Structure 1
């Protein structure tokens, strides 16, 4: 795999920002790692960070490069600070950045596929929420999305870590319902369109503070008939589980079967 620490200017944010990118590389003599690469345009996983983290965290806390190497998939890890992947009421337009600008910029820099069947999004905690928010808002762009311990209902008073920041991010809590930030509303909407809904994977530990909202969202998707794979097990909000579960997510992704070079 090739690893790129990419710094660039964002028109949406009006500031310079960063992303980590790992790209497939076909190698024959590298010791201890099997690398594979497919065609000229790589399938891509947009991998999102949580509230207290940044774009470096997946590389620091997991072996995501090693996990992705065998699959021939690119991984794009952007920085969004503590934005909840929203156009903040008092702050930066991170939703415009993540939903409109990021993929176009990444494809202009790197050989990434623009086909729906080659694009996926996943994340942990705040990033799990962001992954579902992105895929459900744009079912025509993403084949699958995965949430690890994501807070499924950001209007819930139990959301950990926001505190007084909530109004800075979302403004009036009453505006969330029925909006771009409401995953339940987005699930309703995507279930009523003629566009094939993205496959969804949802994991949460039973001792996690997001557990109740995860169960509610699971049940909501079940009623709508959406294709959601749900898993839970004893666990809290921590990296030991996320490191294991991102491997499960990679195995679950509906990657197209292409001839890979190794």
Structure 2
């Protein structure tokens, strides 16, 4: 794999034993990706006790859309929640939708070939992989796991866009309707609900709120119509998964908006399933 690594900030690539015993190490990488035709950001959280040459299970955490940077650590506190595995947080593009575009970037190749090979070769990530994501990243986690049987041993989606075939809302607007991303005939090949049967060999966790202000929202938070749409998508996915015999755990928790406090909580809740 020909990847040129431009290390913008590299913390504790080789960590002294005292530091390794006390805390994890965060590695921030800039990767010159052939699949994307540009540089992209990747964060790798190395567990305490990590040493060069050791092998570790790996959890991929996928970002949502419309973010200006990687937020699973800065806003999602993944470094506080996840322990004892390598955590890989790759850029997903502003609206990349975890796919190789018909005309444009090849995000699926970037994540599942370039990034995967990089973390396995450089940091000792093993083939014991799980994957999770929020919003667009929830779509990516389930879509990747279904499209690549055997690559991941568990998958989770938090407020995920898990039924992108429906045209009943303006909330899903633009990128996945673009002919540069998918042709109409390509949508079922990526849509988690259409692919639900391909997930029946692994445990799956899904969650979402219903858009009403919930216990983790600030006083006065208004109704979130986008999260309400996502809840309906999750109900459709759940029905398809149960019909297909998928080992699916669902937490459709009612009041709650499309926001980080819920996704951090749900990551913590899903971890026993993801790391089992």
* TM-score category (smaller protein): 0.7 to 0.9
The Cα of 1:251 is off from its aligned counterpart by 3.2
Using the size of structure 2 for normalisation, the TM-score is 0.78
Q: Indicate the residue corresponding to 1:66 in structure 2.
A: 80
- Pick one of 189, 195, 198 that aligns with 1:186: 195
Note if 1:22 corresponds to 2:45: yes
The Cα of 1:169 is off from its aligned counterpart by 5.0
Q: Unpaired runs of 5+ in structure 1?
A: 27-35, 192-196, 256-262
Structure showing greater relative contact order (alpha-carbon pairs closer than 8 Å, 6 or more residues apart): 1
Question: What SS does the aligned partner of 1:20 have?
Answer: strand
Q: Indicate the residue corresponding to 1:259 in structure 2.
A: none
Q: Indicate the residue corresponding to 2:8 in structure 1.
A: none
Using the size of structure 1 for normalisation, the TM-score is 0.82
Matched residues in 2 for 1:211 and 1:190: separation? 20
The Cα of 1:103 is off from its aligned counterpart by 0.8
1:156-171 equivalence runs, <5 A: 156-157=166-167, 158=169, 160=171, 162-163=173-174, 166-167=177-178, 169-171=180-182
Q: Indicate the residue corresponding to 1:200 in structure 2.
A: 204
Note if 1:155 corresponds to 2:165: yes
1:1-262 equivalence runs, <5 A: 1-26=24-49, 40-53=54-67, 56-69=70-83, 72-81=84-93, 82-114=95-127, 118-157=128-167, 158=169, 160=171, 162-163=173-174, 166-167=177-178, 169-177=180-188, 179=189, 181-191=190-200, 197-207=201-211, 208=227, 209-233=229-253, 234-255=255-276
Can you list the C-alpha shifts for 1:59-114, whole angstroms capped at 9, x where unaligned? 11122112123xx1110000021110011233211122123222112112211112
Question: What SS does the aligned partner of 2:82 have?
Answer: helix
Matched residues in 1 for 2:245 and 2:175: separation? 36
**Could you say what the CA RMSD is over the residues aligned between the two structures, in angstroms?**
2.1
Can you list the C-alpha shifts for 1:35-54, whole angstroms capped at 9, x where unaligned? x99x9211110000001125
The Cα of 1:159 is off from its aligned counterpart by 6.0
Matched residues in 1 for 2:166 and 2:259: separation? 21
